[in-house]
Chain A
Amino acid sequence: MDTVTITMKNAPALYLEADTISPDAFAGKSAAQIAELPVFEGNNPSTLGKYFEVTGNAGATAADTRIVVKGDVKRVKYIGFRMTAGEIVIEGSADQYVGGWMKGGKITVRGNVDAFAATAMKGGEMVIEGNAGNYLGAAYRGDWRGMSGGKILVKGNAGSDVGMYMLGGEIVINGNCDVHVMTHAEGGRVIIRGNAASKLGGQMVEGDIYVFGSIDVMMPGFKPVDEVELTVDGTKAKFAHFIGDTGERHKKKKGVVVYGNLYKKI
């Protein structure tokens, strides 16, 4: 695997859209060719090299390419956009759409990410060592096909609307989580090791939510059914089990109604 390091040297006056910072776009290119990749500051077309110092050549394929992003990229959007393989390490914090529509590979962010990270993610892995903004692993506006695969780990807290319209895959939040988790979900699971606010699992058709900490307000559509002992994310514990959203439509499998599940650690 070859490593390309890009370091912010001329920060944009506004925000930078750099959907070309991905192993797929870098693959097979030399540092000089990578510096020529297009980026946009507002309506102004420019090149990656104008903002970043690029060192190292990429591997032959995306899978052979590792990108290390250094410097302040808090105003850079779309890092890892639609990536299919390879690796990106962002040493600081990044703006919106990190790993948006990603299908494979791995993204590690040492700092925080803003909203819309891992939008409609299909596969791969994302580790955010700081906090995540709103709409982590959610669907694009209007689409009923949200995150369908892959794994996201947030070591800090997450904003609202985690896993909206989620279909598959897993999101683990070690910290706390804001309102609306897995709204409209039809699969997948979200594990919140800290506390949750409220509105969990609203309009949920299928899927699983696990909460280790507290929940401020439960949704009335989640009905307590029993207590179960489970091993979740490596932790064995006793959970109160709720099914829901009982106000929503549900499929039947072999004559039995399938609900979404909410497990709250006791």
Chain B
Amino acid sequence: MTKTITDVICPFCGTLCDDIEVTVSDDGKKLLEVANACVIGTEKFLHSQSTDRVTKPRIRQEDGSWKTISYEEAADYTAKALAKAKKPLMYGWSSTNCEAQSVGNEIAEIAKACCDNTAAVCHGTTLIAVQDIGLPTCTLGEIKNRADRIIFWGCNPAHAHPRHMSRYSIFPRGFFTGKGQMSRKMIVVDPRCTDTARMADVHLQVEQGRDYELLNALRVAFKGEWLPDVVAGIPAEKIREAADLMKSGRFGIIFFGMGVTQSLSKNHNIDIAIAVTKDLNEYTKFSIMPMRGHYNVTGSGEVFAWQFGFPYSVDLTRGFARYNPGDSSSIDLLKRGEVDMMFTIGSDPGAHFPISAVRAIAKVDSVCIDPHITPTSGVSKLHVPVAFNGVECGGNCYRMDNVPIDCRKVVEPPEGMMTDLDFLTMVCTRLKKLKGAA
């Protein structure tokens, strides 16, 4: 006999689909089938079943080989390394639940660490822009029910957020959008002709690195002011047509991704895209939303914010919270040689950071908490494998539109494996003893 669990949340991307159905063995120990998820999500669930998983903590020996140790020994090592460090960096948090993040924050507070999440390499620039100019946004259901103008700017949901268009943005028939796709106009802005761009009513093939200029030109066009003949490789006439198409909708939305957050102008691209959105609210209703990557990067920002006041790149080294990306951001800290201990959880900086930053990780005491073997675990001194969040344990997560959804446990982790929360709690207890904290 098998059983099917419904309303399961997919712990892959920020779309946080919550309609997954998972079939497990009767004893709840084996995950057999996944329905409704995209191929990446399905793989994420099935990956937990692989037979070559590391199930016990491993510490690097002098000769570079791994030695298996117990979770207790791993927690001892981690607590001591954190206690000793003058400037530890606790990075990641985006693929774990809010409860674990919360304990992690307590650890960071006691250790007086820098703490940061993966926004540092994706939508941190968005957060900087939001701090400069605000954010008119909405929940994804609003798009489904009202939106008739959909703009994808520097993102490619067809590949990166595979169910986004079918669940929320292009195809669904909502309350005021009974005709589904037929009731919507789709604009894609991308220098490449992506699969998403191929579906668009209008594709603005912007010159690489000139999004800021194009967005500026749209603002100028809204006001009917003078424009040069060509901006960012696009004729002024085409820009004016796109501006009119945006203005003529009843409810519009700009979705944007790393094509604009991490290319030239970074936060300024988002800043001015938000200004475009704000302008459009003088004519109609418009919103803007970042296509967040990791399934709970948003949650990490939320927990950081309510506990410390800042959404990422938080520096607690002086005993109180400070924030200034460029100074307190992970890549800068590592590249500049500012940290003497690296703690990674729920992310893979080894794969995503520039090589100069990864080299800095290899030079210091380092702990990597991750169910997988990753480039980060590869350069770390201690690797602590844990249960898969959202598969082998539950916990709260936040979708890209900040809607909280409580993940479900669908299958038991391998015998004896700890969750992030369990392990962090052990570390926290030990660290409190070492630091004599209350």
Contacts and interface: CB of A to CB of B under 8 A. Distances in A.
Q: How large is the interface on B (under 10, 10 to 19, 20 to 34, 35 or more residues)?
A: 35 or more
Contact of A43 (B131, B219, B275, B317): B317
Nearest to B112: A43
B327 A115 contact: yes
Interface in A86-125: 96-97, 115-116
B324 interface: yes
B85 interface: yes
A266 B226 CA distance: 22
Nearest to B339: A14
B268 A183 contact: yes
Given A15-B336, A180-B268, A96 B275 contact: no
A183 B266 CA distance: 13
A176 B164 CA distance: 44
B432 interface: no
A24 B264 CA distance: 40
Q: Is the interface of B mostly helix, strand, loop or mixed?
A: loop
A220 B220 contact: yes
| Interface-centre pick from A141, A183, A245 (highest chain B CB count, 10 A) | A141
A198 B318 CA distance: 38
Q: How large is the interface on A (under 10, 10 to 19, 20 to 34, 35 or more residues)?
A: 35 or more
Contacts, number: 112
Nearest to A197: B264
Contact of A220 (B222, B227, B271, B324): B227
A28 B217 CA distance: 56
B225 interface: yes
Contacts of B228: 218, 220
B337 A142 contact: no
A43 B318 contact: yes
A140 B322 CA distance: 12
A199 B318 CA distance: 36
A45 B325 CA distance: 23
Interface string A188-213: 00000000001100110000000000
A163 to B, nearest CB: 14
B272 A223 contact: no
B340 A247 contact: no
Contact of A199 (B128, B212, B218, B222): B212
Nearest to A183: B268
A42 B231 contact: no
Contacts of B226: 223, 246
B225 A247 contact: yes
Interface in B328-361: 336-340
Contacts of B225: 221, 223, 246-247
Given A43-B319, A199-B268, A248-B219, A116 B326 contact: yes
Nearest to A184: B132
Nearest to A144: B132
Contacts of A134: 326
A41 B324 contact: no
Contacts of A219: 213, 216
A15 B113 CA distance: 14
A141 B323 contact: yes
Contacts of B80: none
20 contacts: A14-B87, A14-B339, A15-B338, A42-B86, A42-B112, A42-B340, A43-B87, A43-B111, A43-B317, A134-B326, A180-B265, A184-B132, A199-B265, A203-B216, A217-B213, A218-B228, A220-B216, A223-B225, A247-B218, A247-B223
Given A116-B324, A246-B220, 7 more contacts: A13-B86, A13-B340, A14-B87, A14-B338, A219-B216, A223-B226, A247-B223
Interface of B: 85-87, 111-113, 128, 131-132, 210, 212-213, 216-220, 222-223, 225-228, 231, 264-265, 268, 271-272, 275, 279, 316-319, 323-327, 336-340
Interface of A: 13-15, 17, 40-44, 77, 96-97, 115-116, 134-135, 140-142, 144, 165, 179-180, 183-184, 198-199, 202-203, 217-221, 223, 245-248
